Structure 1
Amino acid sequence: MRKLTKTFIVSLTLCIAFTIWGIIPESIIGKGSLGNVTTAIQTALVSKFGWFYIISVSIILGVSIFLIVSKYGSIRLGKDDDEPDYSYMTWFAMLFSAGMGIGLVFWGVAEPLNHLYAPPFGDSATEESARLALRFSFFHWGLHPWGLYAFVALCIAYFTFRKGKASTISATVGPLFKGGDHGRIAHLFDVLAVFATVFGVATSLGLGAKQIAGGVSYLTSIPNSLTTQLVIIAIVTVLFMLSAQTGLDKGIKYLSNTNIIFAFALMIIVLFAGPTNFIMNYFTSTIGSYIQELPSMSFRLSPLDEGGNQWIQSWTIFYWAWWIAWSPFVGTFIARVSRGRTIREFVIGVLLVPTIIGALWFSVFGGTGIHMELFGDAHIFEKIKEMGTEVGLFAMFDQMGSFGSVLSVLAILLISTFFITSADSATFVLGMLTTHGSLNPPNRIKMIWGIVLAALASILLYVGGLEALQTAAIIAAFPFVFVIFFC
């Protein structure tokens, strides 16, 4: 039996300690509660360093694009004669499933509607706010986050497969600090990566459980209650733990391919069942304005407009911080499945394909929701405000009559498979990060992290602390901006 690593022990202890902190109610420790402390720190980071997030993520995207056309593009991630481990279709499916899949389903309807009624500038529920709604959804889920993921993944993949280093954050940046790969600073980076991954994924699992429960309650008499959400987490945990035991080439590979089939099937059905011509016109015009306005959106701040600045902090800067928090997890996973590809092929694939899929997704689902709001009497956004973001997709399907019920069932299946894949991928990456970068971490380590993720999501749902957990993950990820630049 392998000896447990220091990274594993410290990370697990830290996660348990923060979970206990999150359970203690505010009535006992007052301002010292996890929610209050993390909110105060996050507010300070966003208000004082918002400009830093904006500039940093844009620079990273610029570097990623430069690598496509540079002389380094022909370098292979591995030996010169290495071939890719996975076909293009499976590779794209893995990128999409691990990177954003469950988030797109959660926000596909809700985010554009939020921007429609509370735009970054101008009046709400107008033709202009409808244009802004889809464009900023593209922006928040498009080139910037995938440029960030591509850069982090490329650094890890290059040092792992080209230089023979361990597949960890510390192996990538450790040589720059005293003690090298095994020094205290390098070790700290790995611990922070685990911390951000555990809390970030646990938050997403909690939100996924809420959305599945929301869909079930729309279709049946089963209430969207805590009990329902906990039962869903328990069922999904059993499934992803079973999948985790089969490894990367079976469980995650097959689940990712299933996800992409379900996702495209649902998207195509909604496209042709909904206002098809409107959706495609909306997509085409928004892609053009997104590309045209990308430079100004990338550096947009509103120092002279408090309302506009608050919107940017709540949406754009929050998203940039959240994607940075996810970058150790997604970057490590993408690196693991990308051996054998050239840098040019890798960056084009990671940067463009998921961005286009995300834009299509928001156009179909967000566009349909906006069409129903502006030209119908749907009141979807009112239901979102009343019942929560998780019901947005199902509230839209509810407007399609009995056929909408069929789509809701498909959506629940899709969310469930994304849920399982995200958790399975997370346990795999956590296993890698806590076993000195093992490319095939032992099942018992993956099992432990799977239990931790499920327990953490369940406990924080119970005490209502998912938001505090999400904020803690973002705070832990702040130093990774500097780590990424060191790459």
Structure 2
Amino acid sequence: MLKLSILIAIVFVLIGVLLPDRMAAWMNTAQGFTLESFGWFYQIVATFFLVFAVYMIFSKYGKIKLGKDQDKPEYSRPTWFAMLFSAGMGIGLLFYGVSEPISHFAIPPSGEGSTDGAAALGMQYTWLHWGLHAWAIYAMVALALAYFKFRKGAPGLMSATLYPLLGDKVKGPAGQAIDLIAVFATLFGVAASLGLGAQQINGGLEYLAGIPNNFGVQMIIMLVITCLFILSASTGISKGIKYLSNINMSLAGILLILVLVTGPTLFLLNLFSTTLGNYTANVAQMGLQLSPFDADEAAWTQGWTIFYWAWWISWTPFVGMFIARVSKGRTIREFTVAVLLIPTLVCGIWFTVFGGTGIALELNQGLDVSSQSLETALFFVYQELPFTVLLSVLTVALITTFFVTSADSATFVLGMQTTGGKLNPSTGIKVIWGLILAASTGVLMYSGGLEGLQAAIIVSALPLTFVILAMCGSMIKAFNEDLKAAREAEAEPLSKKKKAS
């Protein structure tokens, strides 16, 4: 498995280096086919995962522990929240914090752009993309991995979670195929985030120091940060990732408060309340919207909503494995509530503050925020706030630490998945995957830029979606067997007492 996955990854990198135009054309063709033919499928599946997660909270399975009955949580709740959150969506929050809401404001999914209604609708859809649906997708994969690993003693592999359905077939070619799908979905999903991070660090350095914003500079950034995350990965999860996660949350909290206080505070608070109500009232309708009668609206949904569902699905082996690794000892109910609600709320606050500030500057002051590039929109907004340099420096530092944390976690998970589920893969294997991850990111950026990254995500996520659906069925079967065994264990002492009497 290790040799095969590394070989395929190397072949992919070589094709991207030698035939970049050909690779870009292949990826674009595959992306167009997937979006047009399977957009409906992604919408229904994302909604299904949310319904399934809510069911887990209120079901009879809620008291089952992710571990043995006597196991206690390894990390405190604040540290646990910080670790699952920073690994889950770090770079994206900064890259899209201003740029996504302002993009939806200028070009909304329906209606006229650059209006009050477009601003409200844009915030509403941003919450959709980063809210309950996204974290439900993560939660279901993480739940399956944690349950089978810590309660059943199975290897930490995607294939191992399907044992109740496939039996010993998970140890053969079928299981290897499942794990291979997970490896490459992880590789492409994380590569997209690292590409976004390199672009935005470059955008920040351009604003701060006049450094050119181009592919060459972004590759230098990738090289420097690759060295940092490989160094972090070699220290182990309990040291490197734990400390970086807490640093991330501290820096993010400081940045959020500074923008909230120095920006249009009252407007942002009102916007948060309004968006919370709109999102809650319309989450089901938005999560299934495809606009079959309007080609422009359908294209918008494919380019944004469907892309996000594919991105979150492609990240599930990575984020799910990581969240599972740090969630031992939690009950299913506690785990699902925390993973579903807390990050959703934090993401909602974040996008309201940053995106709302950008919208307010354009609506009320006439600044052209929406015409800025995705990676520079945030720094453009900073120019209109006090402490511009401090905010920019903090942002570049936070992107860097998020970058390192995401890549660090990804090398750890890729190492696990290609070594039979080892909880502590060797440093050498993590270094190899770190180099492959950096090279894959560079190839995708070189051959297609942001569009190339998006294409890789959408295509790689499709087969993984079917695996995750099977994981949900496998969990239900295993949970029922678990509860049945518990009832039989409780009944056995009573039957012995009756015989004795």
**Which range, TM-score by smaller chain?**
over 0.9
Contact kept, 8 Å, 2:5 with 2:180, in 1: the verdict is yes
- Which amino acid in structure 1 is aligned with residue 14 of structure 2? I
1:120-169 superposed Cα distances (whole Å, 9 cap, x missing partner)? 11111111101001110000000001001000110111111111100100
User: How far is 1:351 from its partner?
Assistant: 0.4
1:400 partnered with 2:365: no
Distance 2:223 2:203 in 1: 16
Which position in structure 1 is the counterpart of 2:404?
Answer: 420
Aligned mate of 2:250, from 261, 282, 302:
261
Distance 1:321 1:427 in 2: 21
Distance 1:476 1:228 in 2: 28
2:61 match: secondary structure? helix
Which position in structure 2 is the counterpart of 1:44?
Answer: 33
Q: Structure 1 residues 38, 228: CA separation in 2 closer, same or farther (over 3 Å shift)?
A: closer
Which position in structure 2 is the counterpart of 1:340?
Answer: 329
Which position in structure 1 is the counterpart of 2:53?
Answer: 64
Distance 2:20 2:219 in 1: 23
Contact kept, 8 Å, 1:145 with 1:323, in 2: the verdict is yes
User: How far is 1:175 from its partner?
Assistant: 5.1
Contact kept, 8 Å, 2:91 with 2:196, in 1: the verdict is no
- Which amino acid in structure 2 is aligned with residue 58 of structure 1? T
Which position in structure 1 is the counterpart of 2:490?
Answer: none
Aligned mate of 1:391, from 376, 390, 394:
376
Distance 1:310 1:300 in 2: 12
Which position in structure 2 is the counterpart of 1:300?
Answer: 289
Which position in structure 2 is the counterpart of 1:242?
Answer: 231
Q: Structure 1 residues 460, 42: CA separation in 2 closer, same or farther (over 3 Å shift)?
A: closer
Distance 1:177 1:481 in 2: 17
Contact kept, 8 Å, 1:174 with 1:183, in 2: the verdict is no
2:62 match: secondary structure? helix
User: How far is 1:46 from its partner?
Assistant: 1.3
Q: Structure 1 residues 69, 175: CA separation in 2 closer, same or farther (over 3 Å shift)?
A: closer
Contact kept, 8 Å, 2:20 with 2:446, in 1: the verdict is no
User: How far is 1:466 from its partner?
Assistant: 5.2
Which position in structure 2 is the counterpart of 1:217?
Answer: 206
Contact kept, 8 Å, 1:177 with 1:183, in 2: the verdict is no
- Which amino acid in structure 2 is aligned with residue 467 of structure 1? E
How does 1:84-483 map onto structure 2 within 5 Å? Answer: 84-174=73-163, 176-177=165-166, 179-384=168-373, 389-400=374-385, 403-465=387-449, 467-483=451-467
User: How far is 1:294 from its partner?
Assistant: 0.9
Aligned mate of 2:18, from 6, 17, 24:
24
User: How far is 1:381 from its partner?
Assistant: 1.6
Which structure 1 residue ranges, 5 or more long, are not aligned? 1-6, 28-32
Contact kept, 8 Å, 1:117 with 1:124, in 2: the verdict is yes
- From the CA coordinates, give the structure whose radius of gyration is larger: 2
Distance 2:214 2:38 in 1: 38
- Which amino acid in structure 2 is aligned with residue 200 of structure 1? G
User: How far is 1:437 from its partner?
Assistant: 0.6
1:210-268 superposed Cα distances (whole Å, 9 cap, x missing partner)? 10011011011221233322221122111111111110100000000000000011000
TM-score (norm 2): 0.91
Contact kept, 8 Å, 1:197 with 1:325, in 2: the verdict is yes
1:284 match: secondary structure? helix
User: How far is 1:9 from its partner?
Assistant: 1.2
1:64 match: secondary structure? helix
Which position in structure 2 is the counterpart of 1:3?
Answer: none
1:177 match: secondary structure? helix
Which position in structure 1 is the counterpart of 2:476?
Answer: none
Q: Structure 1 residues 370, 299: CA separation in 2 closer, same or farther (over 3 Å shift)?
A: same
User: How far is 1:465 from its partner?
Assistant: 4.7
- Which amino acid in structure 1 is aligned with residue 97 of structure 2? G
1:10 partnered with 2:7: no
Pairs aligned (count): 471
2:375 match: secondary structure? helix
1:302-353 superposed Cα distances (whole Å, 9 cap, x missing partner)? 1111111111111111111111111111111111111000000000110001
Contact kept, 8 Å, 1:174 with 1:185, in 2: the verdict is no
User: How far is 1:193 from its partner?
Assistant: 0.8
Distance 1:423 1:483 in 2: 24
User: How far is 1:473 from its partner?
Assistant: 3.4
Which position in structure 1 is the counterpart of 2:488?
Answer: none
User: How far is 1:44 from its partner?
Assistant: 1.3
CA RMSD of aligned residues (A): 1.4
1:432-475 superposed Cα distances (whole Å, 9 cap, x missing partner)? 10111111111111111111112222344444455324422331
